[in-house]
Amino acid sequence: MQHDTIVVGGGFAGLAAATYLARARRSVHVLDTGKPRNRFATASHGFLGQDGKDPAQILAVAREQLRAYPTVRITEAEASKAHARDDDFSVHLASGEQLEARTLILAFGLRDTLPAIPGVEERWGKTVLHCPYCHGFEFSDRPLGVLYRTEMSIHQALLIAEWGPTTLFLNGAHLHAEGAEVLARRGVSVEPEPVARLEGNGAALSAVRLKDERSREIEALYISPQSRLSSSLAEQLGVEISEEPLGSLIRTDANKMTSVKRVYAAGDIARAPHSVSWAVADGVTAGTSVHRALVFG
């Protein structure tokens, strides 16, 4: 069976794209590994009408509603290979099954590489955070930290200071005079000593322990992890990928079409910055763009 579209990824972008195609009565097959990027977070904020809800529950409801459309199929499977043929695309599943579609939407998300500091991984998405708009309000006026990774961490610290007293942990990196000056004007303190570990009960964060055994009190630590595409399908299909300061990014036009005709990309893999709201919006753009391409050729 040839589908109109195969959507690789059943997160917020993928489900939004599939929903709009389903409402256009097009045959859609969604492939989902069940590992969305924000699965470590217990609450999603800033998404209209869903503020504070568990993102896993939001996705579960979205999948249930999508399954109600007769032209939709959702399969919990990993797409391991994909290639273009004369007039369509072939997608191979890890199970060995092969699917065909006239168009593809890539929405498989990113994989974050966290710094190798004890205490970071188990707190990721809870008290070790990435987006202040998604989680900053909940830590308002508490001692906050930013872990330095690149020059962009200076800008991040200046922004985080909007939510509370902030310390930039250089973790042994060098800070140039201009950066030190602008941070001082903003009231951001700077800690040059390398970080040894994070401390606190369970997922809570109470302090950063430094290599010299000093301790700095904080309740939330913001980091900008290095992010990579969580699937090799984009490379297999030959779409244009750029390496940005925060990681890999699939290049798309305003319609979310990649450099390869009839292959679209949506969500965190095709935009920066990231949020649930942006992922849904880009999924809608991809879904409606694919429908127009199917109609008008």
**To 5 degrees, how large is the angle CA 180–CA 183–CA 184?**
85
Percent of the chain with pLDDT over 90: 89
Instruction: Look at 8-12, 24-28, 111-115, 181-185 and tell me which has the smallest mean pLDDT.
Output: 111-115
Q: Check whether 28 has a pLDDT greater than 90.
A: yes
Percent of the chain with pLDDT over 70: 100
Write down the mean pLDDT value for the chain: 95
Residue 215's pLDDT is what? 96
Q: With a threshold of 0.85, does the pTM exceed it?
A: yes
Which backbone phi and psi does 226 adopt, to 5 degrees?
Answer: -75, 125
pLDDT band at 272 (very low <50, low <70, confident <90, very high): confident
What is the CATH class of 2-112+225-296?
alpha beta
Beta strands 263-265 and 98-106 are: parallel
Average pLDDT (195-209) is 97
Q: How far apart are CA 283 and CA 265, in angstroms?
A: 8
Residue 245's pLDDT is what? 80
Residue 297's pLDDT is what? 81
Is residue 205 classed as helix, strand or coil in its secondary structure?
coil
Residue-wise pLDDT for 79-110, tens only, equals: 999 999 888 999 999 899 999 999 999 999 99
Average pLDDT (31-42) is 88
pLDDT band at 273 (very low <50, low <70, confident <90, very high): confident
The reply to whether 2-112+225-296 and 115-222 are identical in fold is yes
Q: Check whether 167 has a pLDDT greater than 80.
A: yes
CA 50 to chain centre: 18
**Domain 115-222 coded CATH 3.50.50.60:** yes
- Cα distances from 141 to residues 51, 158, 209, in angstroms, run 20, 15, 21
Q: What residue has token string 């579209």?
A: 5
- Region for residue 78 given its phi and psi (left: phi exceeds 0; alpha: psi -120 to 50; beta: otherwise): beta
Residue 246's pLDDT is what? 80
- Region for residue 175 given its phi and psi (left: phi exceeds 0; alpha: psi -120 to 50; beta: otherwise): beta
Residue 247's pLDDT is what? 86
Domain ranges of the chain: 2-112+225-296, 115-222
pLDDT band at 181 (very low <50, low <70, confident <90, very high): very high
Residue 49's pLDDT is what? 93
More confident residue, 4 or 225: 4
- Cα distances from 87 to residues 71, 102, 188, 262, in angstroms, run 21, 7, 57, 10
**To 5 degrees, how large is the angle CA 26–CA 30–CA 32?**
170
